[in-house]
């Protein structure tokens, strides 16, 4: 039986274009954004959408130390295609 391949990941550090694409993705509303692995369990918090930085994702809440050092390569591909279709 064939095994399903894991999606390719892009590890940090991220360059400016990657951060820009991830920011567009997070704000796009087309797909579910990357969210905090800690705060997303708390329904009282308003937004758990992660913020892309050179060193990876970080939670928007100053008291939270959640970090993630990767994104799916497909996230960048989909977002880049979307930007090109819009003429950006």
> What is d(CA 22, CA 19) in angstroms, rounded to the nearest whole number?
5
pLDDT of residue 43: 65
pLDDT of residue 15: 98
- Does residue 54 fall inside a structural domain? yes
pLDDT of residue 44: 59
> What is d(CA 59, CA 52) in angstroms, rounded to the nearest whole number?
9
> What is d(CA 18, CA 37) in angstroms, rounded to the nearest whole number?
21
Report the candidate in 23, 41, 43, 42 with the shortest Cα–Cα distance to residue 33.
23
- Does residue 81 fall inside a structural domain? yes
pLDDT of residue 5: 75
Contact 42, 53 (CB under 8 A): no
The answer to whether residue 2 scores a pLDDT higher than 80 is: no
pLDDT of residue 40: 66
The answer to whether residue 1 scores a pLDDT higher than 60 is: no
Query: What is the domain extent for residue 38?
Result: 11-86
> What is d(CA 4, CA 78) in angstroms, rounded to the nearest whole number?
21
pLDDT of residue 14: 98
The answer to whether residue 19 scores a pLDDT higher than 60 is: yes
- Does residue 2 fall inside a structural domain? no
Domain count, the chain: 1
Which residues of 38-81 form beta strands (DSSP E)? Answer: 51-53, 56-58, 67-68, 70-72
- Does residue 5 fall inside a structural domain? no
- Does residue 4 fall inside a structural domain? no
Provide the sign of the torsion angle of the four alpha carbons 5, 7, 8, 13, taken in this order.
negative
């Amino acid at each position: 039986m064939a095994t399903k391949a894991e999606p390719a990941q892009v590890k940090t550090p991220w360059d400016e274009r990657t951060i820009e694409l991830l920011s567009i993705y997070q704000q796009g509303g087309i797909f579910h954004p990357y969210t905090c692995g800690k705060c997303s369990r708390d329904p009282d918090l308003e937004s758990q959408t992660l913020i892309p930085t050179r060193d990876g994702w970080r939670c928007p809440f100053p008291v939270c130390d959640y970090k993630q050092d990767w994104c799916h390569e497909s996230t960048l591909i989909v977002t880049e295609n979307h930007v090109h279709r819009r003429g950006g």
